Every structure is written in C-alpha cells, then in structure tokens.
Amino acid sequence: MKLLSASEADLIVAAQALREGKLVAFPTETVYGLGANAFDERAVARIFEAKARPTFDPLIVHIARLEDILMLAEEVPENAWRLARRLWPGPLTIILPKRREVPDIVTAGLSTVAVRFPSHPVARRIIELAKIPIAAPSANPFGYLSPTTALHVIDMLGESIDYIVDGGPCDVGVESTVIDMTGERPALLRPGGMPLERIEELIGLVDIPGHDEPSVDEGLEGAGEKDMLLFEHGFEHAETQGAAQSLKSCEKKQNHLKKSPESPSQKSPGQSSSHYAPSTPLFLFDEESLPEAAKRKGILHPCIALAFNDRRAQVLRDSGLFDAVQILSEEGDMREATARLFSLLHDLDEAGLAAIYAERVPDAGLGRAINDRLYRASRNKKVPS
C-alpha cells in the first residue's frame, strides 16, 4: 500500500492507477471509499475480496459530471433528474435502471445501478482525471464501521489495497442517503448524509420501508425474526472503524463479523441489520430513556454512555451508573454529531470497554442517519442480556 497526498501530482497517480485496474481508497464528503474502475470486472472483484464483502451486495458507482449518469442508467425518470440537478454533487445515491454495459459484478446481478456524484474535491478530481466511473463501497471490512480518516483505512484494509489518498477527515461522517427511483414511488433505502426532508421538498413523499422498527433496546432482545424481517425491507447499515487499530483487533473484527446475519433476498441486498457495528457491544435506548432503562437491564463495566448533547451528558453523569460519558455534540448540533459518530465509535472500540450505552437522538434530518447506524451497531452484540 502506498499513501498519497491530495496534491494534483498525487491525484494523477491515483487516477492512473484506477485506469490500470488498481484499488485506490480516497476521501469523499461522507466516508472514505475503496475505488476501482466500474467497467473493469477484475478490478471490481478485488474490492469484494479486500472487504470480504459478499458478492450479492451491490456497489455504488461514482461519477464527476452530471451527464455521466447516462453511461450507467438506461433511463432517468424526471424526479431522479430533479434530485440529481439540485442535490448533486452531494451525499445522495440514486438507484436507477442500469445499462447493459454496467458489469453484473457491480450491481450483484440486479437490473438497477446505484449512482452517486460526490462533492469532495479530492474524489471529484480523481474521477475527472481517471475519466471512468468509479465503483466504490466504504473502505472497511464488510459489516464494520465505515472509515472517516485515512488512518482508519490503513488500519483496516492497508494490506489489501494499492493506494490510499489522504484528504483529511470526512465532513459529513456517515454514508450517503440511498434513494430508489425505480419503483412506482421513490423509496428511502438508507438514511444518510442528505436529509430526507430536502429530498421530499423536491419530489414529494418518499416511502420509508420498514420504518416501524422497534426502537428501544429492551424491545429488541428476543424481537428476533420479526425484527430482522422489518429490516430486510429497511435501511442500510453502517460500517465504521476506530482510529489507530492493531492487526489483532482487525482479526477480532473479522471474526465477529462472520457471525453477522445476512440474507441474499433483501431488497437492497447489502442491508442486513447488523452492519456498521463496532466490536464492543452497544446498547441503544430511546431518546432520554437512559439511565433508567439501562439500570433495569443491568450495567456492564467498564462502560461508557454516549450522550447527544451537554444537557443529556449531565443527566447521565449525575446518574453515577456509567464509568464515563462521551458527547456527540456539546451544543446538540446534528451536523457535528454526525461527523463525530463513526470516529468516536472507532476510538471507543479500541478502549477495551464491556459496553457502550447510547441514546437515540431526535429523529429528523441527519438524526435519522445517526439513529439508523446506532440501531445497526446495537444489533451485533453477542452478550447475555
């Protein structure tokens, strides 16, 4: 693996490497992606290998000019154009009917393709210079937390990829919002960095499959198959990872991930409910229901409680139940909270904790993406309740 900077000379190297079928990790405004030439099946196959990602989970294809959507999509409905024109470049992925030329390995054999035009200047420049659409999932082992810094990528995948471009930490911090524009009505497949409200302003109401998921951690234990079913039609999961990470903890992660349930019959095939998970058990509670609910369940030590803002942090500290309290955003700023979420979880995952106790945040705007990722993180634990 070679580390590149965001200088023009280095971006030329990265673009050339992509043209030659190499794997290049690069920053986007959401998370770091692991890129390959979308029209080079062998290069794309290496992405699946590097991530240990099942091939039934399709990839997002990244472009850097609006008109390149036509290289990938057979047809672009009017409302999809509207979203593309108004919200791109930005953290939005649009599912469209695919052109025959798009290799099946990219789309996992589906008749649709996921297209995204990222706003990060480094991502845009690499794609422009490469002059090819770039297939890029988040640059993490399958099922784990997505990387929001180059160091996260080095720690998780450094050995299996050719280049990593360091463009600093990602601004948004959670993956793009995925919206399916191929059905009768638009459907939200993954809440993410583009708030649903902005999408609905442009194209009206969007279906939210599986929206009635159980929300309280206590309600999840034993919810079992019903809950899984809801999520099969529901959102995508987060994958993230902590800061400086040893190989050993990577192995631990891989083992832990092998246990993740995944079903090829899902609507968006990568959307198992236990994605985006740290290795440390994470317990999720309804907004403002910590610490009472956690106390009833019994608390594992050492542990930390994750508070949305200063006010909640004070309540959690005053309870005396937790060994430490971490705050997503002191002022309760949703953007800051989103940007910090994965990097905080990466760090906490390195701290040798028995448990992380988290509260849902207000469920609007970016809060929806935070709650989705916390929920998925909470699905991966294998500890007695």
Interface with ligand TXA by CB under 6 A: which residues? 28, 30-31, 33, 57-60, 91, 93, 95, 107, 110, 112-114, 116, 118, 136-138, 175-176, 178, 189-190, 236, 268-271
Residue 178's binding partner among Mg ion, ligand TXA, none (Cβ under 5 to 8 angstroms by kind) is ligand TXA
Residue 113's binding partner among ligand TXA, Mg ion, none (Cβ under 5 to 8 angstroms by kind) is ligand TXA
Q: Is 24 exposed, middle or buried (0-12, 13-18, 19+ CB in 10 A)?
A: buried
Mark residue 150 as left, alpha or beta (left: phi above 0; alpha: psi -120 to 50; beta: remaining): alpha
Among positions 28, 107, 138, 266, the unique one binding Mg ion when judged by CB under 5 A = 138
Task: Tell me the closest approach of the beta carbon of residue 13 to ligand TXA, in angstroms.
Answer: 20
Helical H segments across the chain, by residue range? 8-19, 41-51, 69-72, 78-87, 104-107, 121-130, 150-157, 196-203, 217-220, 224-232, 247-258, 292-297, 310-319, 334-349, 367-378
CA 58 vs CA 29, 264, 367: distances in Å: 21, 11, 26
Q: Are 35 and 149 in contact (CB under 8 A)?
A: no
In this complex, which beta carbon is closest to Mg ion, that of residue 166 or of residue 239?
239
Q: Is 239 in the site for Mg ion (CB under 5 A)?
A: yes
Q: Are 208 and 285 in contact (CB under 8 A)?
A: no
Q: Is 74 exposed, middle or buried (0-12, 13-18, 19+ CB in 10 A)?
A: middle
In this complex, which beta carbon is closest to ligand TXA, that of residue 68 or of residue 217?
68
In this complex, which beta carbon is closest to ligand TXA, that of residue 17 or of residue 60?
60
Task: Tell me the closest approach of the beta carbon of residue 239 to Mg ion, in angstroms.
Answer: 4
In this complex, which beta carbon is closest to ligand TXA, that of residue 138 or of residue 378?
138
Task: Tell me the closest approach of the beta carbon of residue 313 to Mg ion, in angstroms.
Answer: 29
φ, ψ dihedrals at 294, nearest 5°: -65, -40
Residue 33's binding partner among Mg ion, ligand TXA, none (Cβ under 5 to 8 angstroms by kind) is ligand TXA
Q: Is 262 in the site for Mg ion (CB under 5 A)?
A: no
Residues in binding contact with Mg ion, number by CB under 5 A: 2
Radius of gyration of the chain (CA): 20
Task: Tell me the closest approach of the beta carbon of residue 259 to ligand TXA, in angstroms.
Answer: 19
Cα torsion 128, 131, 133, 137: sign: negative
Q: Is 18 exposed, middle or buried (0-12, 13-18, 19+ CB in 10 A)?
A: buried
In this complex, which beta carbon is closest to ligand TXA, that of residue 236 or of residue 350?
236
Q: Is 372 in the site for Mg ion (CB under 5 A)?
A: no
Quote the DSSP letter at residue 58: P
Task: Tell me the closest approach of the beta carbon of residue 310 to ligand TXA, in angstroms.
Answer: 29
SS3 at position 382: coil
Which one of the spans 102-110, 136-144, 185-193, 224-232 is the region binding Mg ion (CB under 5 A)?
Answer: 136-144
SS3 at position 98: strand
Task: Tell me the closest approach of the beta carbon of residue 265 to Mg ion, in angstroms.
Answer: 19
Task: Tell me the closest approach of the beta carbon of residue 237 to ligand TXA, in angstroms.
Answer: 7
For binding to Mg ion (CB under 5 A), which residues are involved? 138, 239
